[in-house]
Structure 1
């Protein structure tokens, strides 16, 4: 049992650091990992009386397998969809989304923030989910009303402000570039709407269009990227993405000084 616990801690640490070696698959197999599909990493605090067996039983009922790592006050779960022995292949719990799985595992954690990393296709990609979850856990206190659990991608503005390069890239790739590629009118309307305090009338006046046109364009923004600018939290996410996108464009970068002509 102690050897298994040390081996599991070693595997989780390898996933968190992204320093997987050739022995990692055999170590995971030795732990009896039943995962065969999507994976997500959940990071929270370790409870004073941690019942690891109860946490595994709960995970089993949800149709997932877990790798558990206790790092002092921090508790890390690597969650993978699994066909566990004795469970029907069409069990409804196997179809639960990871946010719901995290919500049901939440009682096994201590007080404080609980952050779920994005879903990745397989265990070999788990370090990507872990990196986002750890970055989100580090800044979760900056969102005053953060839910528990909260998804790491919902903390993209805080992560970007803290200097997380993955968050910056995600915001630009998921929001700024798709909007820019779809229509410059959508970008201009979104900029104006956010700069004018999310006022339809003020935006319409600035753009010399009807308020219904602004409504239509904001609806298109939501359809293109999946975020709704009319909500305060999502407006913060979108405005951060616009700022980062503008900083990263060629037109806003400082141009090199012109070469001096010889006299």
Structure 2
């Protein structure tokens, strides 16, 4: 429109008034441009604030284990695309996180995951990742964005709506992580199972029973007895062999079978601790054996 008016200036105004008219048209076009830019900026700011509030609602709903149509609708509105490989990382947040910090965290997460949600709840930073490609690298790089202190990631979940389990494990691990001062950073929640059990996490207790104790019982061949004796006798192969009246190579073979069955190596101190915790909670969870009644002896008349 401005170009049309400017082209028609010689037609609609005398030559003496043409410079003033052109200047007025240029001033008008500048004011229109500034006003439009302000409108777009306000719209973008409003959209960004809306996205931030929506993201906070989704993170809170996932942490609470909500599974509703409303949550699915919010996830779709946010433009979430990832369909697999979900996990949750938790740790300490910076004392005064800025908008630029959150934006940088999102950009960093975007390098290793298809989608990411960021939540800050008090002094806790929650990062929900979807479609993670190289998990080990992603966790190490993203842990640098957390404030000093433990960083824990939960087990992988099959869908975003199932990520609440990963979040619960991660938070339980974060609570228990102080009991393992030399824990790596980041550390998997499943690597903190003994500490989580001691801190009262029932999910960790069930995991030890299900994934370690029961498979050892099912494998039979004296694995539980051999492992228990080995741990009780100070991790000595020879002492275990003498106690069980078997050759040391038999003990070594059975301990290797323990590693094959459970994925935890009893020859490594930290993993032996996990196995010992599994034996303790497994034995406590076993139903008590029924006491056999003694038949009264018959007396001769």
Q: What's the offset of the Cα at 1:106? A: 1.2
- The alpha carbon displacement at 1:184 in A equals 4.8
Shift of 1:210: 0.8
Report deviation, 1:191: 0.3
User: Which residue is 1:16 aligned to?
Assistant: 63
Distance between the aligned counterparts of 2:286 and 2:193, measured in 1?
A: 20
Match of 2:247 among 207, 210, 223: 210
| 2:84 partner SS | strand
- 2:283 aligns to what SS in structure 1? helix
> Does the CA-based 8 Å contact 2:112-2:133 persist in structure 1?
no
User: 1:27-66 alignment to 2 at 5 Å?
Assistant: 27-48=74-95, 50=97, 51-66=101-116
Match for residue 147 of structure 1?
Answer: 184
Asked if the contact 2:65/2:161 (under 8 Å) is kept, the reply is no
For residues 80-99 of structure 1, the aligned pairs below 5 Å read: 80-81=130-131, 95-96=133-134, 98-99=135-136
**What secondary structure does 1:214 align onto?**
helix
> Greater CA deviation, 184-193 or 60-69?
60-69
- 1:181 offset after TM fit, Å? 0.4
CA distance in 1, matches of 2:153, 2:220: 33
Post-superposition offset of 1:17: 1.3
Give the distance between the partners of 2:149 and 2:85, measured in 1 at CA. 26
TM-score, length of structure 1 as denominator length: 0.88
Q: 3-state DSSP class of the match of 1:23?
A: helix
TM-superposition CA deviations, 1:206-225 (whole Å, max 9, x none): 10111111110000110111
Tell me, what secondary structure is at the counterpart of 1:36? Answer: coil
Secondary structure at the counterpart of residue 166 of structure 1: helix
Verify the 8 A CA contact 1:222 1:228 in the aligned structure 2. Answer: yes
Once superposed, what is the RMSD of the aligned Cα atoms?
Answer: 1.7
C-alpha deviations, 1:126-160, integer Å up to 9, x for none? 01101100100111100010110000000000111
- Unaligned residue ranges in structure 2 (runs of 5+): 1-47, 294-301
Matched, 1:234 2:271: yes
Quote the offset at 1:99 in angstroms.
3.3
Aligned residues: 243
Q: How does 1:53-202 map to 2 (within 5 A)?
A: 53-81=103-131, 95-96=133-134, 98-202=135-239
SS at match of 1:37: coil
In 2, the alpha carbon distance for the partners of 1:108 and 1:31 equals 23
| d(CA) in 2 for partners of 1:183, 1:24 | 46
Determine the structure 1 residue equivalent to 2:50. 3
1:52-110 CA distance string (max 9 Å, x none): 111111121214311111001100011100xxxxxxxxxxxx631x2331111112111
Q: Deviation of residue 122 (structure 1)?
A: 1.2
Q: CA deviation at 1:194?
A: 0.5
- Following the alignment from structure 1 to structure 2, what is the Cα–Cα distance between the partners of residues 26 and 43? 25
| Structure 1 unaligned regions, length at least 5 | 82-93, 259-263
**Which is bigger in relative contact order (C-alpha 8 A, separation at least 6)?**
1
C-alpha separation in 1, matches of 2:114 and 2:175: 26
* Shift, 1:33, TM fit: 1.2
